[in-house]
Structure 1
Amino acid sequence: MSVLRLTVIWHGNFAGGGPIAEALAAHFEGAEDEPNSSGLTIPVRVRCKGADPSDSLSAPLPLMTGDDTINIVLLLFEGNLVTAFEKHWSSFANSIRAELDAHPDRTLVLPMRLGDRSAIAPFDDIQSIPTSLFLGSGLSDPRWMRRLTLTIVAHIGNYLRRLEQFEKDPATPIDETLLSRFPLFLSHAKTDALAVVNAIRDHLANNNYGVDTFIDAKDLPAGLGYEKMFTAAIRAGAVVAIRSDAYSSRPWCRWETLEGKRLLRPIVVLDLFRDAELRMNPYGGNVPALRLVDPSVSGENAQAEMDRAVLAIMTEAVRIMVWNRRVMSLEAAARAKYPGRDIRKLPRPPELVDIANIRIETASPIVVLHPGPPLPRPEEKMIRAIGGDLELCAPSDLGVPL
């Protein structure tokens, strides 16, 4: 199992390094059983001081590396770190660059420019993150910090997608792999959600996150069938279900949510509910959801609202990619504990829809591997009532730490 780790590096004289690292840790390290947690459980480490307390010029401890570690390294470049990398921290900087050059399949370096300088050796040939594109006025502005977090999440997601492609086709080096943009399938009812759809599309126009939107009326070529093209778009990306008053009354909207669950794709609900609906969508649960302020009435906060929504979507996409890597370590343990059973892996705690999809494909005895914690007894009882011969298995049931 690969361990994914985020390390934030800054110079101790830069007062902004601590708040940035704390904000990222709050987002990436949350436990799956905590309310409002992202569920990423990615440890955040820091390097901001020399390893020798008696020597003010000593370099930090080297990064932890190894075959089972994927290092995401965020470099907070302002004047102090630039000077340190040029002088007394140069060996530390060179060791990071050497690890990147030797093992791009387990190292991603993200230089972030917090000043005017853009070329910083030994990372002057690597694309950096310009904070000039961030919303807000700086570190003390929640909008600025949210944009920073969103940017890091998106770049980690793009890296994991390239890593997946490299593992399928090692003939093309990971640092030479180009991917198409990650499509966000905007599932919506045109009668009362079109303004929000257009706002999301406009917000993401020319973005540097590596994401795109798929809207049926604008992106489906004439002459092609809805179902097959929608399935292709959903399989490649994530489903964003915009829950307006009319959403649940639309058969295609309900199908799009179901298709996202059948394909085990990231799904996030943006709640634009205003008044009433005759029948709440029964397939829209068991996924992250957040209340979205209508951009047509949110005024100057519209951009911040869009960032908040996109951060939730990209976080769920990264969570599933991380889970898919972690769950590989569970399969051997599950096969040993439950010999002779089919193994089915779910990126969310199982629900009745998941079991129905599995049983459409097979009647064999199965083990369902899913993120923890184990299901509460009432949920488990219902799933066992329709699931036939199955075992539900969270990581804690196998004694495997994730």
Structure 2
Amino acid sequence: MDPPPPVALDRAERNVVVLLVDNGLVSAGWHDYLADLVRAVSAGSGNWLLPFALTPHFARIPAVAHVDVVDLHTTPDGLREQIFLNHLTHRVCRQIGGSAPVRVFISYASRDGGDIAREVSRHLRTETDVDDFLDAHHLAGGDPFAEILDAAVAGCALLAVNTDSYSSRVWCQREFLGAKRAAMPMVVLDAITNRSARAFPYLGNVPTVRWHGDSRTVLDQLLGALLMETLTHRYFPLRVAEMCAKHGVVPPPHLLARPPELLTLLDLPRIAGGGALVDLLYPDPPLGTEETQLLRKIEGSLRALTPTMLFSM
């Protein structure tokens, strides 16, 4: 197969060019095309080349000799798709939210969540290009741990390792509430093995991944959920601004990357400076009737809208 036309990199502000290197691409007939592609990608500050190796012969391509290639050809088939998506999602997150890797704050109860938290941390450090924050690695004797933890929570995606004792731990509650009220990306890892005396009510309204025996599979799925939440939080405001400009609509003053909940109503007056509550926009799909009526009962002046609802008014 002959090489296709050059990639039109000028059609977007930022580009992630995914290169799937198989045996066909290794042939000499593609070398000039790939060299031109790499030069074009390197010429733009908003561009990034993301090559994946589907063959052990990828090193024969001179154009990618200086680029870190993600090795998929030795990855088990059952993990390949998720690992591919994780790398791609992470790169897009970094393209639109700064060059630094996404950082995951691991919140857990030391009584029964330490082993899982350390396994998650070890996976992030050894198998991915995502950063992590685990108190055992980032706190030393004499550190003002409350200040460090509060600052870390506000700048990370948060993973809550929800074990039997998680909901009853004051510090776990503080970390989770701090991240939620700071509107950070959040995912719950459901690792309850027996029973929880009282489920922490604010653990809801975020994605949940079930912990099970095939840890490598669930760890990659967990990372995928965290990265997709991060991408939603970073991209949704940009997409809203673009859509509003295209339709000549004034963007609502309050944007949420997840559906509103009762806790949202507590923080909206603070965000609005004590003024009247107005329109709030969150991603589709819309909330059900019961949830919407409950929110309106608490605050009748709030209109919780999705883009579909906003642009159909």
Q: Common fold, TM-score beyond 0.5? A: yes
User: Residue 122 of structure 1 aligns to a residue in which SS?
Assistant: helix
Q: 2:43 matched to 1:108?
A: no
Partners of 1:335 and 1:353 in 2: CA distance: 31
Which of residues 60, 72, 78 is equivalent to 2:16?
72
Q: Which residue among 253, 256, 264 is the counterpart of 1:346?
A: 256
Residues 198 and 58 (structure 1), Cα distance of their counterparts in 2 relative to 1, 3 Å cut: closer
> The residue matched to 1:148 in structure 2 has which SS?
helix
**Deviation by residue 1:101-151 (Cα, 9 ceiling, x = unmatched):** 33231x3211112223325243333222123663x2xxxx21233333323
SS at match of 1:192: coil
Residue in 2 that maps onto 1:82: 26
Shift of 1:313: 1.8
Runs (4+) off by over 6 Å: none
Judged with a 3 Å threshold, the aligned counterparts in structure 2 of structure 1 residues 205 and 374 are, in CA distance, closer, same or farther, namely closer
1:352 maps to amino acid: L
Name the CA distance, whole Å, in 1 between partners of 2:193 and 2:147: 32
- Report the residue type matching 2:113 in the other structure: A
Task: State the match for 2:274 in structure 1.
Answer: 363
Q: Which residue of 1 aligns with 2:294?
A: 382
Report if the CA contact (8 A) 2:26-2:57 is conserved.
no
RMSD: 2.7
What are the residue-to-residue correspondences of 1:193-342 with 2, within 5 Å? 193-207=113-127, 209-293=128-212, 298=213, 301-330=214-243, 336=249
The amino acid of 1:199's aligned partner reads E
TM-score computed with the length of structure 1 as normaliser: 0.69
Partner residue of 1:93 out of 13, 24, 34: 34
Corresponding pairs, count: 309
Query: 1:41-64: CA deviations, max 9, x gaps?
Result: xxxxxxxxxxxxxxxx54324435
The two structures have a TM-score, normalised by structure 2, of: 0.86
SS in 2 for 1:347: coil
SS at match of 2:19: strand
SS of the residue corresponding to residue 285 of structure 2 reads coil
Task: From 87, 112, 122, give the equivalent of 1:192.
Answer: 112
Confirm whether residue 148 of structure 1 aligns to residue 68 of structure 2. no
Residue aligned with 2:83, SS? helix
Structure 2 distance, partners of 1:102, 1:314, is 27
Consecutive unaligned residues of structure 2, counting only runs of 5 or more, are: none
- Identity, % of aligned pairs? 26
Counterpart check, 1:373 vs 2:282:
no
Return the alpha-carbon distance in structure 2 between the equivalents of residues 333 and 59 of structure 1: 36
Aligned partner of 1:159 in structure 2 is 95
Say which SS state the counterpart of residue 111 (structure 2) adopts.
Answer: helix
Letter in 1 for 2:209: L
C-alpha separation in 2, matches of 1:335 and 1:231: 39
Q: 1:73 to 1:186 in 2, by over 3 A?
A: same
- The CA distance in 2 between the partners of 1:289 and 1:396, in whole Å, is 25
Contact 2:257–2:283 (Cα < 8 Å) also in 1: yes
**Contact between 2:16 and 2:91, CA under 8 Å: does it hold in 1?**
no
Q: State how far apart, in whole Å, the 1-side matches of 2:6 and 2:183 are.
A: 38
Structure 2 distance, partners of 1:62, 1:289, is 41
Looking at structure 2, the residues matched to 335 and 367 of structure 1 have their Cα atoms a distance apart, in angstroms, of 17
* Alpha-carbon spacing, 1:328–1:224, altered in 2? closer, same or farther (3 Å): farther
Q: Does 1:183 align with 2:103?
A: yes
Letter in 2 for 1:190: S
More helix by percentage: 2
Residues 221 and 345 (structure 1), Cα distance of their counterparts in 2 relative to 1, 3 Å cut:
farther
**CA shift digits 1:181-227 (9 cap, x unpaired):** 432111111111111111112222334x3322222243223334344
SS of aligned partner of 1:258: helix
Given that 2:186 and 2:229 are in contact with CA atoms closer than 8 Å, whether structure 1 keeps it comes out as yes
Conservation of the 8 A alpha-carbon contact between 1:261 and 1:354: no
Runs (5+) with no aligned partner, structure 1: 1-56, 163-176
SS class of match (1:202): helix
Counterpart-to-counterpart distance in 1, 2:39 and 2:137: 45
Write the letter of the residue equivalent to 2:22: E
| Deviation, structure 1 residue 249 | 0.8
